[in-house]
Structure 1
Amino acid sequence: MQDVLEQLKAGVRRFSNEVYPERRETYLKAVSVPQRPMALFVTCADSRIEPELITNCGPGELFALRNIGNMIPAYGEMLGGVSAVVEYAVSALKVPHIVVCGHSQCGAMAALMQPEATAEMPAVKNWMTNAAAAMSVTRSLAKAGEQPEDFARRLTEENVLLQIQHLKTHPSVAGAMARGELSISGWIYDIGSGQVRISEDGGRVFVPVTAEPVAR
C-alpha cells in the first residue's frame, strides 16, 4: 500500500515540476474567475475513462459526475449526491449541455448480465436497479444466436438512453430544456479504439464522431 502512495506522490511531483509550469497561466486564469463549465459530463467511475482527455478540455471546462455505470436515478428515487450535482450544474452553473457517456467493457453492464457478481455487494446491487429497464429493453431486442459482446454493446447503449430519460425527470433539467437553455447527448466511448459515438437530439442511433465535421 505504501508503494502505491509513493507512486501517487511521484505523480504529484511530476505535475508540480513539469505539467504545472507549462500551463501556469491556464490554471491562474481558472481560479481568477468563477467556474463556467461548458457541460456537465456524466460518465462511469471506471479508471480507464478520462473525460478531459477524450474531449480535449482543460481546467474549468467540464463539470464531471462519475459513478458506477454512469447512472442518474430518476428524480425522487435516490435523492443524494447525483441529484445534487445535476441540480447545481443546471441551476447554479447554468451549463448549456449535459453528456451521458457510457463505455466499452463496462463492469456495470457485465454485472447486469451476471447479477450473481454483486451478490456480496448490497450497495452495488441496489445501485444497479437504476439500469433494470435498460436490461429489459436489451433482452426484448436480443436476436437468436446473438454473441455476448453484441448484447453488451446494445445494453451499454440502452443504459445511456435510459439515464437520459431519468435525467429529464429532474425539475432543474426539465425547466432548462423547456426554456431552450439546455440540451443533452448520449455518448459511447470505445476504450480500445478511442472512438466516440454520439446520439443527439433524442435519437436512438449512436453516430461515430469522424475526423472531419460532417456537413448537415
Structure 2
Amino acid sequence: MEKLIEGIHQFQSGVFGQQRALFQRLSEGQAPEAMFITCSDSRVVPSLMTQSGPGDLFMLRNAGNLVPPYGPLHGAESAAIEYAVMVLGVKDIIVCGHTHCGAMKAVLAPDSLARLPATRHWLTYAEATRQLMESHYQALPDAKRLETCVEENVLVQIENLRTHPAVLAGLSRGTLKLHAWVYDIASGDVLVFDAAAGQFVPIAELS
C-alpha cells in the first residue's frame, strides 16, 4: 500500500502538473478512440501496451476478458458496451486475451473451481470455449492447449459481442469494427486474428 500512496504523490507532483491542460480538457468530457476489453490480470496493462494516454481507451476488465451474450439480465458488461457504442461513439472494440491466463486454465480444468463458486459461475460465459477445446483440441500438449484456449476464447467473446444490439447496429452501419487480439506477456508480442488467413498473426503483419 505504501508503494501505491507514494505513486500518487509522484503522479500529483510530476505527471499531473506536466499535463494539467490535458486533464482539464478531459474533465469536460471523454471521446475515446476505442473500447478495450481485457482480463483483470495485473500483468496486462493496455495503456502501456498500446502507448495510449488518458482518455484514449474506454476499458472493460474482468476475469478471462469475457463478454456475456446480450439477454434479459443486463450486467455491467452490457451497460459498458452499450454506453461505449451509443454514447461515446467508439469506432473499434478490441477483445484482448493474454498468455498464461488463469481463467483459461480454469476453463480447461473446471474441477479446480470446486471452492470458488462465484468464479465457476462467471466462467459459464466461456462454456462455448470449453466445449470447443474438449471437442477439437484434447490431443494438444498442455502448453499449446492453453495457448489455443486463449485464442479460441477471444473469438468466442467476439461472437458474444455481436449479440448486443448496439454492436449489431454499429456493424450493420459500418461505423464499428471488432478486433481479436492476444497479448504475449513474456515477449510483448501482440497477435491479431486475420479473418482471411483464419488464424492469429503478429500485428506487424497487418500494419
TM-score under structure 1 length normalisation:
0.90
Q: Which runs of 5+ in 1 are unaligned?
A: none
Displacement after TM superposition at 1:140 (Å): 2.4
Aligned to 2:23: 27
The percentage of aligned residue pairs carrying the same residue is: 42
> Which residue, out of 13, 16, 37, partners 2:32?
37
Q: Give the drift of 1:16.
A: 1.1
Distance 1:131 1:213, change over 3 A: closer
Distance in 1 (CA, whole Å) between partners of 2:198 and 2:57 is 25
Counterpart residue number, 1:69: 64
Match of 1:9 among 5, 11, 14: 5
The 5-angstrom pairing of residues 129-148 of structure 1 reads 129-142=124-137, 144=139, 146-148=140-142
* 1:78 positional shift: 4.5
Partners of 1:78 and 1:48 in 2: CA distance: 31
How does 1:80-99 map onto structure 2 within 5 Å? 80-99=75-94
Q: Show the 5 A alignment for 1:176-215.
A: 176-200=170-194, 204-210=198-204, 214=207
- Cα-Cα RMSD: 1.8
Q: Are the counterparts in 2 of residues 39 and 62 from structure 1 also a CA contact under 8 Å?
A: yes
For normalisation by structure 2, the TM-score amounts to: 0.93
Using the alignment, how far apart are the partners of 1:30 and 1:135 within structure 2? Answer: 41
Q: Give the Cα separation in 2 of the matches to 1:86 and 1:35.
A: 15
Contact 1:103–1:188, Cα closer than 8 Å, also in 2: yes
Query: For 1:206, what is the secondary structure of its paired residue?
Result: strand
CA distance in 2, matches of 1:118, 1:78: 24
- Deviation string, structure 1 residues 133-192 (Cα, Å, up to 9, x no partner): 112112322263x21010001100000000000000001100111011100000000011
Deviation of residue 124 (structure 1)?
0.8
Which residue matches 1:153? 147
Task: Say how many residue pairs are matched.
Answer: 207
Residues 1:18 and 2:14 are matched in the alignment: yes
CA 1:203–1:92: 2 relative to 1, 3 Å: farther
CA distance in 2, matches of 1:135, 1:113: 7
Deviation per CA, 1:43-63: give whole Å up to 9, x if none. Answer: 000111111111111111100
